[in-house]
Structure 1
Amino acid sequence: MPGKWDVVYSKAVNICKKRNADVGLIRDEESYNAIVNHLRRTMRRDWAWVGIWIRIHIDSRTGDVIPANSFTKWYSDGFPVRDKDRTNIYTVVNKKPNERYQGMVNAPPTWERDGVLCEILI
């Protein structure tokens, strides 16, 4: 069972702004693994997985990730999906580390997810 899906991308931006932060960008595999491990440790016991918005977008025409130097680890074969509406990316973290279906998914910004990764630049 996932969490409570009620965060569209615009709400994610506002959540971070209220914390004087921006939607978080995953820059490398080390950061990705740290975030995934943190989410697994803090996920509610009754949740099987969680989906959180991140600040990576995709050009639906070319399939290029924006910013270009962003780290990506796609959910499974077939991602990213080429669809004009699937411009934003969220990451799915399963409570089970070896679960095959987890990683990044491109989706419309109107999809509701569990939350958002915020980052404060210092």
Structure 2
Amino acid sequence: MDLIKIILVFSLICGLFAELKVPPGTCRSQIVKGKLVQVGDCKKDDGSDIVRLTQKSLDEKKKAENKCSVIYKTKCFRAVVYGTDNVTFNGAQSVCKSMNNGKLANIYDLTHFQSLLRYLRPMIPAGETSTDVWTGMEYKNNQLLLSSGGPITMTTEVWYPGHPKSYASWSVVSVDINKVPESAYQGMRNTKPSYSRHGVICEI
């Protein structure tokens, strides 16, 4: 019986060594459960490996966080949409700033507008027929403005029915997205900055 136990233990040890074995003169390092694990000929013990691996992990995470969801004319766009309309205009600015120091997005033309609608439609919260997000655009003195303050002209089909409104306090622009692509009840709306929306589209 003891002989069988010895054979089993020996087999287990051989299996572990076979799994850990790496070619001579090489060192394999990886972070496992927050700890540096090294296998092979690892002579360094100055902490440089864990620093390098940690930096690589952070770089990969940052790259994933800053990934563009929509690219239009070399510009990068990402949206954040919540289940409730709790994002004010000021709150939207903070959300975008947290994305690699981004800003609230501009919409540059009809093609760009349509690509953003396609991107945002699947983000409509469950149980809702539509959602709305802030942009960085403004509407002042009957003129649509980019976030830079420069004027821009858009075709009337990008506007929500009955918009733009001529009220002076309705100075910022959001976009409503309907679950039904053919619905007339979607588009850009000028509104008050104190109102809340479901989210924001950011330009990174």
TM-score (norm 2): 0.54
Task: Give, in whole Å, the separation in 2 of the partners of 1:69 and 1:81.
Answer: 17
Identical aligned pairs, as a percentage?
27
Aligned to 1:46: 127
Task: Give, in whole Å, the separation in 2 of the partners of 1:5 and 1:93.
Answer: 13
Shift of 1:70: 5.5
Task: Give, in whole Å, the separation in 1 of the partners of 2:190 and 2:144.
Answer: 10
Aligned to 2:159: 74
Is 2:130–2:176's contact at 8 Å kept on the other side of the alignment? yes
Tell me the alpha carbon deviations over residues 34-87 of structure 1, each in whole angstroms, 9 at most, x when there is no partner. Answer: 11001112323322101000111011xx211113125461101x3111112100
Aligned to 2:116: 35
Task: Give, in whole Å, the separation in 2 of the partners of 1:71 and 1:12.
Answer: 23
Task: Give, in whole Å, the separation in 2 of the partners of 1:99 and 1:38.
Answer: 16
3-state SS in 1 of match to 2:167: coil
**Of the two structures, which has the highest relative contact order with CA contacts closer than 8 Å and spacing of 6 or more?**
1
Aligned to 1:17: 97
Which structure has the bigger radius of gyration?
2
Is 1:90–1:105's contact at 8 Å kept on the other side of the alignment? yes
| RMSD, aligned CA | 1.7
Shift of 1:30: 1.5
Code of the residue aligned with 2:89 in structure 1: it is Y
Task: Give, in whole Å, the separation in 1 of the partners of 2:137 and 2:131.
Answer: 17
Gaps of 5+ in 2: 1-81
Spell out the pairing of 1:37-116 with structure 2 (5 A cutoff). 37-59=118-140, 62-67=141-146, 68-69=151-152, 71=154, 73-76=158-161, 78-116=162-200
Code of the residue aligned with 1:69 in structure 2: it is I
3-state SS in 2 of match to 1:52: strand
Shift of 1:5: 0.7
